[in-house]
Structure 1
Amino acid sequence: MTRTAEIVRKTKETDIRLSVDLDGTGTYDISTGIGFYDHMLEQLARHALIDIRLVTKGDLHIDQHHTVEDTAIALGEAVKAALGDKAGIRRYGQAYAPMDETLTRCVLDISGRPHCVYKVEIPQLRLGEMDTELFPHVFDSFAQAAAITLHVETLYGGNSHHIIESVFKAFARALRMAVEIDPRQQGAIPSTKGMLGG
């Protein structure tokens, strides 16, 4: 079973070409035009063990919003497509990720019911050239597009870089757990309804 997907998303605001492999080794080739965003998405690939090939060309001459949000939407769409009917997956994932003084918790359910609870405060307005107010949109957009229930919360922390990096690492580890094939499921859909979603 190949759990891969390719997404081409082209609008007047962004042009995105993306491929994912859920059973990869965490390799990546990522270019969004926003260096700090690239760095966080590289963390996602590496710690989720999802191979990601991504090129986003967005209207950065206006601002970063469309580039950031549309990339997250495309990633969510790709993960959803690669999961197929979700047969045999663990479904639930959870992880804590410490980074020095910071600790973040992420819990998610590949439920088919999109919802995002994001409780993260980042002291700085910008990291590198990225506007930190866009990070809530990243996780909400991914959750909506992938149709997952996602809860992410930084329990404590002080350094802005440490906070958001621990968020992405916790998310990556939780996602890795949830998409993994559980040999005890023997290919069954992990729901008493016999389907996920709705």
Structure 2
Amino acid sequence: MREASITRETTETKIHLILNLDGEGTGNITTGSGFFDHMLHLFTAHSGIDLTLKAAGDLAVDAHHTVEDVGICLGEAFRQALGDKAGIRRYGFFYLPMDEALVRISLDFSGRAYLAYDLRELKEKVGDFDTELIEEFYQGFVRGAGLTLHIDQIRGRNTHHIIEASFKGFGRAIREAVTVTGTKIPSTKGSLD
């Protein structure tokens, strides 16, 4: 089984998560932010992973540290669970329509952390959630996982739909990339570190 367990404790956050890449898409997720929990549940459902996540952060300040650190920890869990990445497809992409919104996700478990983020003209908040934190989540994930990730908004007006399309599409692209199709490391270099 491709699994990982990550614990991170700082003066700003306490996070514990358990990840199973070969799960059924179930999530037991508590971050203190209803909107963020909703997005992470969508991600698990569409990626097919199982995720248990308990995050406690300094939400009295704002959700920045919690969202960023969850991204870092989740990325680290993927790195740990994938090991040397032998046999995986490595690349994943998906176009996700959500009503008027359309978001394209392209990714590569290359070992190189890079984020190209283009969700634009978002309203400042969805409920009480600061939408600028979505980029912080993805940046944390990219750093933790060693992932190249491109997120492109093709169209959209509704902020909730745009963000939701990104999380669902991210899940679908991840599912494709981590699927095992062989035994070799998918790189002419022989390594994806």
Q: TM-score, normalised by structure 1?
A: 0.96
Alignment correspondent of 2:22: 23
**Cα offset for 1:48?**
0.2
**Cα offset for 1:128?**
1.7
Alignment correspondent of 1:49: 48
Percent identity between the two aligned chains: 51
> CA-atom RMSD, angstroms?
0.7
Alignment correspondent of 2:139: 140
Task: Measure the CA separation in 1 of the matches of 2:113 and 2:122.
Answer: 28
**Is 1:192 matched with 2:188?**
yes
Runs of 4+ displaced beyond 4 Å: none
- 3-state SS in 1 of match to 2:76: helix
1:34-68 deviations in Å (ceiling 9; x for gaps): 00000000010000001000000001111111011
Task: Measure the CA separation in 2 of the matches of 1:124 and 1:192.
Answer: 43
Task: Measure the CA separation in 2 of the matches of 1:120 and 1:73.
Answer: 20
- 3-state SS in 2 of match to 1:46: helix
Letter in 2 for 1:8: T
1:120-135 superposed matches below 5 A: 120-135=119-134
1:142-161 superposed matches below 5 A: 142-161=141-160
Alignment correspondent of 1:114: 113
Task: Measure the CA separation in 2 of the matches of 1:131 and 1:28.
Answer: 23
1:22-101 superposed matches below 5 A: 22-101=21-100
Task: Measure the CA separation in 1 of the matches of 2:33 and 2:146.
Answer: 26
1:141-191 deviations in Å (ceiling 9; x for gaps): 101110010001110001111000001111110011001101xx2x11001
The count of corresponding residues between Structure 1 and Structure 2 is 193
**Structure 2 runs not aligned, ≥5 long:** none
**Cα offset for 1:129?**
1.6
Whether the 8 Å CA contact 1:122–1:164 is kept in 2: the answer is no
Alignment correspondent of 2:9: 10
Task: Measure the CA separation in 2 of the matches of 1:123 and 1:17.
Answer: 30
Letter in 2 for 1:151: H
Letter in 1 for 2:41: E
**Is 1:173 matched with 2:172?**
yes
- 3-state SS in 2 of match to 1:12: coil
Whether the 8 Å CA contact 1:28–1:52 is kept in 2: the answer is yes
- 3-state SS in 2 of match to 1:152: strand
Letter in 2 for 1:59: D
Whether the 8 Å CA contact 1:44–1:172 is kept in 2: the answer is yes
**Cα offset for 1:123?**
2.7
